[in-house]
Structures are given as structure tokens and as C-alpha cells.
Amino acid sequence: MEHISKEYLLLFNTITDTAQALQALQMQLLTAQLRAERLFVDETGNTSDDAVAFTQDNSARGMVS
């Protein structure tokens, strides 16, 4: 088996940890966005498609998945 340098392992593990942290943050943001939309609908009684268009528009653009 080929030896893997400590520097490479450090970089690989840091990148992996950071990618996982970013995914967790993305889920937190998506959850907050959905909760805010539900609060808006509950408070305004607005049940039209426009009330959730923001989430759908961003999903289509790849901003939130």
C-alpha cells in the first residue's frame, strides 16, 4: 500500500468536514426559510401559490436544494 502524507490527510479530512458542515448549514437555512414561510401564511392567511414561490424559485436556480 502506498504511503499517504500527513499533509494530504489533513487537507482531505478538513475538506470533508467543511463540506459536511456546509450541508448542515444549508439544511438549517432551508428549515428556517420554510418555517418563516409557514409563519407568513399563518399570519396573513395568504394561501396562494405566490406565498411559496420564493422557495420554488430558489430551488429551480439551485440556491436551495
Decide if 12 is inside a domain.
Answer: no
Which residues lie below 8 Å from residue 29, measured CB to CB, with a gap of 6+?
Answer: 64
Q: Which residue has the higher pLDDT, 41 or 47?
A: 41
Decide if 48 is inside a domain.
Answer: yes
Domain tally for the chain?
Answer: 1
Decide if 40 is inside a domain.
Answer: yes
User: Do residues 64 and 32 lie in contact, with contact meaning Cβ atoms separated by under 8 Å?
Assistant: no
User: Do residues 49 and 63 lie in contact, with contact meaning Cβ atoms separated by under 8 Å?
Assistant: no
What is the per-residue pLDDT across 10-33, written as a single tens digit (0 to 9) for each? 999 999 999 999 999 999 999 999
Q: Please give the model's pTM, rounded to 2 decimal places.
A: 0.60
Q: What is the extent of the structural domain holding 62? A: 24-65
